[in-house]
Structure 1
Amino acid sequence: MSKVAPPYTLFFSISDSKQRAEVRHTNAADFSSAWQTLTADIHQAVWQAKMNPCWLRIDWVTRRSSTTLANLHEILSDTKPGYFRYGLALDQDCKIAFLEQELNGNAMLYEGNCIDHAALNKRNFRSYCQRRFGDQVELDFADERNVVLLSTEGLFCESHKEPVYLSGAGPNTGRRIINNLNAKLITQLIENASSYLGRQLTSSGHFHSGWYPCFDLEIEGHNNLRHASCAHAMIEAWEVSKDPALQAVIERALNVLTSDLIQTIQLKTGETAAFLVESNSEIKLGGNALSLLALVKYSEAMGVRAYADLMEQLAKGIEFMQNQASGQFCHVLDYPSLNIKKQRLSIQYDSEAALGLIRLYSWDKNPRWLTMVEKALEYFIATEQWRTHDHRLSYCLNELTKYRPKEKYYQLGIRNFANHLGFVENCKTTFPALLELMMSAEKMISHLHSQGLFQELLDQVDLEHFYHVLAKRADHLLNGYFWPESAMFFKNPEKITGSFFIRHKAFRLRADEVEQYLSGLIAYRDFILDQTLQKPACIDNPPQTEKANHIDNIMFSTS
């Protein structure tokens, strides 16, 4: 914890997990005065909100940087949405001041998806300022107005748990300090996020698409492809938790997938093929691929053959969409005519299709699927598909080389990530697919190393740097997790705690993005367990200070 010189600026934020946090702050020449003032203020706020609090967050300002509103606009224009990592005071005395988390939770620096940088949202600013300070504050946004950027450190307290210190700098700003991302902690995150996904399954058996949590607004529309991918991630998570409640949700989701969303058609050859059909009557290659992946994973995890015929029909649907001479896939068909609607749509569909087929081959050993995969790989090699750095291509190659350990396949796998490490290391966003790319790459590296195969390919990779980047990327995913100390500033904290968000999209919670976080962390957990690095989770809890000694009095005497 940094030493802080007077005057002290101190914030208390308190929530019952069901409503947005009430925040109060004060400035004082000595810490005790600041604490006493805020204790009285927060008691009053809790009484007015009729709140039974369970979360208390304490933040103190460690550094101030004065500037003008005009200069702040320039700073924001060069900052990704959601990535302004400072609090903000609208006056030199910090009488009107906000934490970074208040700014984010109320979309005060977000002007919509059409603007690719942070920007001051005057309407949201005025609305929250009125809630926080009342009608007596008049806001003007003149360029010459002086404002103060605030750096803070903090402490978060949850009922009946040890307080945790909050990071005060860098990409981890504002969330708890984690010194050891171990298997126990990752398992907890997996269980929490998969439970969140389970809660997104409606009574009809369809998933909510997602939420914009600042104001608890639902993302409109349904995507059947995402339904399949979410089911797959939940099955992966069930293999970790063995939670019977999660299994029940999975089976409901698969029942809708197989009974309502997938349709069968008799082809001119006389064979029956199956296709995942979207609500707009489109058949997407990726939909078939992800449905196949989900059903194979379920069959493996549960040891059942109930979907064997349907999986074969889905594979035949993928075969219908492949040019058997070139190996190329077409991406979108019209249903029920099966006419080509779009030859190309998403490059990821190609590797998803190949991965689905090779996973099915691993399950049923039908050489028909292996032949299709090899044809697809010849096309991928010819078109240098490694330039997409798609993690599912790496997953596919790891499966394929179990049966066809050819150098050209390993070379494709190495190229898929080797020149991408700089981007993976320095990417500011959490971008969960990057961890999946690193985990699939690690499996290939480990296999080549243990089998003594094609060692010259390993020479193309700086292995020390690779493993550094892998660990850094896994740690960075924690910055996309809704810890309670972050969720408490949004409209419906209880709904979103334990899920994963996309910061630069207004902290968007979309089901298919949550499942990407899940899949990456599940793979990383497997890696940690393989390395036998099972140490107790370590959250940095320094000895209590003057600040921490007063916490229990606030937490348990405000109800």
Structure 2
Amino acid sequence: MMLLSDQLRACHDHLRAQCAALPAPYPAYALFFSVTDGTRRAHVEFASGPDLATAWATGVDKLQGWMGGQPLPATWLRVDWVEGARAVSWDRLVDQLAVTKRGYFRFGIAFDEGFEQAFTEQELNANAMLYGGAQTEHAVVNTNNFRAYARLRFGAKVTMQLPPSGLAYLLATRGVFCGEDGIAHPLCGIGLNAGRRDVASLDADTVYDLVDRSASYLARQVKDDGLFVYGHFPCFDRPIPTYNTLRHASSLYAMIEAWELTRDQALRSAIERSVTQLTRHLVRIYQLPSGRDAAFLVDTGDEIKLGGNAVCLLALVKYCEVMDTRQWLPLLDQLAEGIVWMQDLPTGRFNHVLNAQDLSLKQASRIIYYDGEAAFGLMRLYGLTRNPRWLAAVERAFGHFILAEHWRAHDHWLSYCVNELTRWRPEERYFRFGLKNVVDHLDFVLERKTTFPTLLELMLAANQMIARIQQMPAMHGLLDELDMPKFEQALEHRANYLLNGFFWPEMAMYFKNPLSIENSFFIRHQSFRVRIDDVEHYLSGFVGYHKLLKSRIAQSACESITMPEPEPPTAPCEARTTTISKAVAA
């Protein structure tokens, strides 16, 4: 086990090269030391001084003094320093929170200019101190949570006066983290990347590591009976007290995608338990009026959802492919029969929700995602069995999708589906649909503040389709409306931006039960929610991105054989231009 002294030394070596003095009236050097063994919320100590040596020594003494009375050793250590500060009135702070999306206030807050009573950005968000509830979309001071954490941090005798009698101070910080590996990981400072490790390059090895970690996390959520631990809100480690069989199947699909890459045995075992639960208990067989048997995934509320059958197809087709088995072919045909049963043959439109008791219609339309999932599932089954019934059903559906202009939804499932459909039916109308699904969506992909993991899936599927168009001279005219450099920029940006939704240990350590969320993915504006389908979409996106990176490596290797003088490497896609003073003044 790594000794705390070694972790402190690694962090100190980094600080000496990076930490600069603050101007008066603030402490020249202001440091926050955070430590945890991973089983509980990080303990934070603050220290300041006229020079780094004094501030450091004071902080280490405080930290070691506190740890002397603790039963468990530290495994994670993080040290942050204040890079910039700005005094604001309480009213100004409240106004700034009101125009900031919940979870996205990225500064610490102090209540005195010496920062003795201060909270880092990570503490504020991990303790829901700026969360006003699911109905309040912007950040807001949560007085009860503020006072509760202040008592935890400073002791029961400390009374948090809100609003304060004086000014508040916004703090821009930067940090360094050291875990069990003893490596000092520099952390990003101000901006949307704040608080997580600075990843120099999102290369294939880094993406593989993210896939491996997050797939292992999902595997650990699969219980002995094959059901998942569905999810929880990590600020206070509260479980989500419900279940969703559609998300069970779709999360299984993502795990199988990941296993194809990692071949991890624990992941394989979790997949088998989950498949067994799905096929034996969650799917029911019905006899249709035609006499055919159809299978349906039944969800809570005794509902049959079109998307449920669809993701069962995706999971079981993928299982058959990567495990080299055909054991699920009879069930796959029955699931596809269920989808076709839910399709209106004259129009191609799908009904979305049935009552499980008698297969009567409950809801004709619920969410557009079901349409793309259903068509994609049928296409994947067609690819496995070449049964023309399933392709015909998809083409009927696309007749409806085109007339209804479903491309306006910019749905990632439709992107997956049209990419698959054009492999077998490379027709202009389908290519055109796929391009419309992304061509006017690039600004959204580039500018969306939330991580929105399905955007990467959307772009990756579209990228595969575009690559095939580029190999078809008769179709080149379709690309005239697509800004290809902007498309490529948007794809790369979205892949890199997903790093902000990963629970690195330096992020997880401030929540109530850090080890329970480490290596998962979260949705920041939903109270950092971790749910199996949240993890699933990040995971599928990174599996696809890893394939793209590996294909580029292979292509580069081929080109190097025929091109003795390769072009020089391009410059980094984004330089750091934002200054601390500009960000704090924003």
Counterparts of 1:124-203 in structure 2 under 5 Å? 124-142=145-163, 145-203=166-224
1:67 alignment partner in structure 2: 88
1:502 to 523, 529, 538: 523
> Following TM superposition, by how much is the alpha carbon of 1:453 offset from its aligned partner in structure 2, in angstroms?
4.1
Match runs of 1:363-402 below 5 Å? 363-402=384-423
Matched letter for residue 31 of structure 1: L
Q: How many residues align?
A: 535
For 2:182 and 2:351, locate their aligned partners in 1 and report how far apart those are by CA, in whole Å. Answer: 54
Aligned twin of 2:369: 348
1:478 partnered with 2:470 = no
Q: For the Cα contact (< 8 Å) 2:501–2:522, is it kept in 1?
A: yes
Match of 2:331 in 1: 310
Given that 1:68 and 1:143 are in contact with CA atoms closer than 8 Å, whether structure 2 keeps it comes out as no
Which residue of 231, 240, 253 maps to 2:252? 231
Residue 33 of structure 1 deviates from its aligned partner by 1.1
Measure how far apart 1:255 and its partner are: 0.6
SS at 2:299 equivalent = coil
Name the SS of the counterpart of 1:476 in structure 2: helix
Rounded to whole Å, the distance in 1 between the matches of 2:391 and 2:410 is 23
Matched with 1:544 is: none
Q: Which amino acid counterpart does residue 98 of structure 1 have in structure 2?
A: F
C-alpha deviation, 1:450, in angstroms: 2.4
Query: 2:277 aligned with 1:256, yes or no?
Result: yes
Q: Which of 512, 516, 522 is the equivalent residue of 1:491?
A: 512
Cα distance, 1:444–1:453 mapped onto 2, change above 3 Å: farther
Q: Residue 565 of structure 2 aligns with which residue?
A: none
Deviates more, 1:85-94 or 1:376-385: 85-94
Aligned counterpart for 1:21 among listed residues 35, 42, 51: 42
Indicate conservation of the 8 Å contact 2:48/2:58, yes or no. no
Partner of 1:525: 546
Are residue 35 (structure 1) and residue 80 (structure 2) matched? no
**1:524-543 to 2 correspondences below 5 Å:** 524-532=545-553
Which structure 1 segments of 5+ residues have no match? 536-559
- Contact 1:351 1:396 (8 Å CA) reproduced: yes
Query: Which residue is equivalent to 1:433?
Result: 454
SS of equivalent residue, structure 1 residue 381: helix
- Alignment partner, residue 105 of structure 1: 126
Provide the rounded CA distance (Å) in 2 between the counterparts of 1:160 and 1:258.
41
Partner of 2:73: 52
Q: Is the counterpart of residue 442 in structure 1 residue 475 in structure 2?
A: no
Report the Cα distance in structure 1 between the residues aligned to 2:28 and 2:318, rounded to whole angstroms. Answer: 59
Is the CA contact 1:63–1:152 (under 8 Å) kept in the aligned structure 2? yes
1:539 corresponding residue in structure 2 = none
Of residues 341, 347, 362, the one that matches 2:383 is 362
2:282 equivalent to 1:273 = no
Given residue 329 of structure 2, which amino acid in structure 1 is its aligned partner? A
Counterpart CA distance in 1 for 2:181 and 2:320 is 41
Q: How far has the Cα of 1:144 moved from its partner?
A: 5.5
Q: Is the 8 A contact 2:451 2:497 kept in 1?
A: yes
Which 5+ residue runs of structure 2 have no aligned equivalent?
A: 1-17, 558-586
Rounded to whole Å, the distance in 1 between the matches of 2:293 and 2:423 is 30
Counterpart code for 1:349? Y
- Residue 241 of structure 1 pairs with residue 262 of structure 2: yes
Q: Which amino acid aligns with 2:249?
A: A
Q: Distance in 2 between matches of 1:452 and 1:298?
A: 36
Contact residue 64 and residue 148 of structure 1 kept, 8 A: yes
Distance in 2 (alpha carbons) for counterparts of 1:51 and 1:30? 32
The 3-state SS of whatever aligns with 1:206 is coil
Q: 2-side partners of 1:113 and 1:404: how far apart?
A: 44
Partner SS state of residue 468, structure 2: helix
What letter matches 1:111 in structure 2?
A: G
Correspondence for 1:3: 20
Q: Distance in 1 between matches of 2:424 and 2:85?
A: 61
Moved beyond 4 Å, runs of 4+: none
1:495 to partner: Cα distance: 1.2
Deviation, 1:276, is: 0.4
Query: Share of identical aligned residues, percent?
Result: 46
Mean CA deviation greater in 484-493 or 199-208: 199-208
SS at match of 1:179: coil
User: For the residues of structure 1 that align with 2:165 and 2:457, how far apart are their CA atoms?
Assistant: 47
Alignment check: 8 A CA contact 2:453 2:541 kept: yes
Q: What secondary structure does 1:13 align onto? A: strand
Whole-Å separation in 1 of the counterparts to 2:157 and 2:300: 51
Give the CA deviation at 1:51. 2.8
How many Å apart are 1:28 and its aligned residue? 1.4
Alignment map for 1:84-103 (pairs within 5 Å): 84-103=105-124
- The answer to whether residue 433 in structure 2 is matched with residue 416 in structure 1 is no
Contact 2:129 2:142 in 1 (8 A): yes
The aligned counterpart of 1:551 is none
Q: Counterpart in 1 of 2:579? A: none
Equivalent in 457, 477, 494 of residue 456 of structure 1? 477
Report the Cα distance in structure 2 between the residues aligned to 1:4 and 1:230, rounded to whole angstroms. 48
- Which of 299, 321, 327 aligns to 2:342? It is 321
- Alpha-carbon distance, 1:142 to partner: 2.8
Return the offset for 1:312. Answer: 0.1
| Structure 1 position 278, deviation (Å) | 1.1
Supply the distance in 1 between the matched residues of 2:202 and 2:473 (Cα, whole angstroms).
30
Q: Give the distance between the partners of 1:4 and 1:505, measured in 2 at CA.
A: 36
Q: 1:220 aligns with which of 241, 250, 256?
A: 241
Cα distance in 2 between the residues matched to 1:519 and 1:385: 23
| Larger RCO of the pair (alpha carbons < 8 Å, separation 6+) | 1
- Aligned-partner SS, 2:481: coil
| One-letter identity of the residue aligned with 1:167 | C
Say whether the 8 Å CA contact 1:58–1:156 is kept in structure 2: yes
> Aligned partners of 1:117 and 1:288: how far apart in 2?
37
> 2:224·2:273 contact (CA, 8 Å) conserved in 1?
no
Structure 2 letter corresponding to 1:164: H
8 Å contact kept, 2:456–2:494: yes
2:252·2:275 contact (CA, 8 Å) conserved in 1? Answer: yes
- 2:572 paired residue number: none
Deviation per residue, 1:289-320 (Å, 9 max, x gap): 01111110101111101110000000000000
Tell me the CA shift for residue 2 of structure 1. 5.9
TM-score (norm 1): 0.94
Structure 1 Cα separation of the partners of residues 460 and 412 of structure 2: 9
Deviation per residue, 1:358-411 (Å, 9 max, x gap):
100000000000100000000000000000101111111111111111000000
Write the deviation string for residues 189-246 of structure 1: whole angstroms up to 9, x where unpaired: 1111111111111222211220111111101101111110010000000011011211
**Take 2:313 and 2:501, find their aligned partners in 1: how far apart are those partners?**
29
CA distance in 2, matches of 1:90, 1:141: 10
8 Å CA contact 2:214–2:520 kept in 1: the answer is: yes
Answer yes or no: is the 8 Å Cα contact 1:68–1:144 preserved in 2: no
* Contact map agreement 1:22 1:46 (CA 8 A) in 2: no
Amino acid at match of 2:465: M
SS at match of 2:94: helix
Residue 568 of structure 2 aligns with which residue? none
Query: For residue 543 of structure 1, what is the aligned residue in structure 2?
Result: none
Question: What is residue 285 of structure 1 aligned with on the other side?
Answer: 306
Question: Cα deviation per residue 1:102-150 (whole Å; 9 max; x = unaligned)?
Answer: 1111111112111111111111111111111113322211375311000
SS in 2 for 1:181: coil
Residues 173-203 of structure 1 show CA distances to partners (whole Å, capped at 9, x for unaligned) of 1111111001111111111111111111122
Range 401-410 or range 135-144, more displaced = 135-144
Q: Distance in 2 between matches of 1:60 and 1:335?
A: 58
Are the equivalent residues in 1 in contact too, given 2:503–2:519 (CA < 8 A)? yes
2: distance between equivalents of 1:39 and 1:144? 32
RMSD: 1.3
